[in-house]
A and B are shown apart, each in its own frame.
Chain A
Amino acid sequence: MTVDTAPDTQSQIHWFLIGMRGLFSLPAIILMLSFVGFAAFTAEANIPVDQVMFMTGMVWALPAKVILVGSMLSGAHVATAFIAVTLSSVRMMPMVAALIPEIRDRRTPTWLLLIISHFVAITAWVFAMEKVRDVPRYGRVAFFAGFGITLTVTNIILVGLVYGAVSSFPPIVSGCLFFLTPVYFLTSIWISARHRVIYWALGIGLALGYLFAVIAPEYDILLAGIIGGTLAWWGEKRLRQKEAGQ
């Protein structure tokens, strides 16, 4: 089959199912462990379990949810909470914008992309950027939808199931659960990088992430991303032009 083969329903279902199977992958398991940690965090904060399940489905991105819960607990006005959460979620835009050209083909309708974009969060993004290379283009949207929807629904159920049981973890266990997330992200980004610029952006982003968290904590992620990413892109491009010139 070639990339230009017309998509038929059967192959769409096939790639959707292959995407669903991603639930049994290392990244999905690590994310589920992180959600066990999130359930413990919300149970400790006495947020009702149905609201925790609701926000898991509606917000999906874990950092945004942590900020949302923090706002709810501090009794922040809904507008204040909106601003805090939306600032933490600006990164969704370049993440989705980088993913879309990888998964869509000429026939993919925009409304479908708008719907499946809801399932983009760091784990699904890292997983998809790594795996879609092995999926023919006509199956990529179905593949991502299968993975993203299954992962989201599973974690909504998981949070509901473990909520009552996890409030009394020993700190060493919740500490290790928490630390899984950054360690997993680091290894996945390294493995899935196909361009030199990704390594540069990772290194500069880590350094600036720390720097701006100290000097401008309100906008740290945003500043580190835009400035760090631009520096990495510019530096790599300069080097590339230099190499091409020789």
Chain B
Amino acid sequence: MSFDGVWPYIYIAIAGWLATDIWRWAGVIAGKRIDENYETLNWVRAVATALVAAVIAKLIFFPTGALENSPLWLRLGSILFGALCFFIGGRFRQPLGIAAAIAFLAAGLALIGL
């Protein structure tokens, strides 16, 4: 498509803004109703978490861009090494786990010469 004129902005507004915000609005309406019901809220939480987990799995197993051709074992190895540091990391587990995973990935990418 051409990126000139106002059409790209209308395109983004319809296929981008409207396509995402209708679900946010639906969430507000639904969220106001499930306030009191513990079991429904628990289910909604579980579904929301599983959705985000599925996005994470796709980023790890089927990355786009620079990592597209990187070996799967390297990406999984980074996650496992990061998780190991996370669980022994105590108070600093989050920055430690993230730094460990990224360092493992960077070292691996450098070694295989990406």
Contact = CB atoms under 8 A, between A and B. Distances in A.
Q: How large is the interface on A (under 10, 10 to 19, 20 to 34, 35 or more residues)?
A: 35 or more
B49 A198 contact: yes
Nearest to A228: B50
A178 B67 contact: yes
A89 interface: yes
Given A41-B65, A174-B66, A91 B15 contact: no
A58 interface: yes
A57 to B, nearest CB: 9
Nearest to A30: B98
Given A93-B26, A95-B27, A197-B42, A221 B54 contact: yes
Contacts of B34: 97, 101
Contacts of B31: 96-101, 104, 113
Interface residues of B, number: 75
A180 B102 contact: yes
A78 interface: yes
Interface string A203-228: 11111111011000000111011111
A184 B51 CA distance: 16
Q: Which of B15, B56, B97 has the largest number of chain A CB atoms within 10 A?
A: B15
Contacts of B105: 175-176, 179
Contact of A205 (B3, B27, B54, B62): B54
A181 B59 contact: yes
Q: Which of B8, B18, B54, B109 has the most CB of A within 10 A?
A: B54
Most chain A CB neighbours (cut-off 10 Å) among B22, B59, B64? B59
A122 B55 contact: yes
B27 A94 contact: yes
Contacts of B59: 178-179, 181-182
B28 A100 contact: yes
B47 A94 contact: yes
Given A41-B65, A122-B52, A197-B46, A93 B19 contact: no
A213 B22 contact: no
Contacts of B83: 186
In the complex, which of the residues B28, B106, B109 has the most CB atoms of chain A within 10 Å of its own CB atom?
B28
A244 interface: no
A161 interface: no
Nearest to A120: B24
Interface string B73-114: 001001100110010000001110110011001100110001
Nearest to B69: A171
Given A188-B94, A201-B49, 7 more contacts: A95-B52, A99-B31, A104-B32, A181-B59, A202-B53, A208-B50, A213-B61
9 contacts: A66-B64, A95-B51, A95-B52, A174-B66, A189-B53, A198-B45, A209-B53, A209-B54, A232-B49
Interface of A: 26, 30, 37, 41, 46-48, 51, 54-55, 58-61, 63-66, 68, 71-72, 75, 78, 81-82, 84-86, 89-101, 104, 110, 113-114, 117-118, 120, 122, 125-126, 171-172, 174-176, 178-191, 195, 197-198, 200-210, 212-213, 220-222, 224-230, 232-233, 236-237
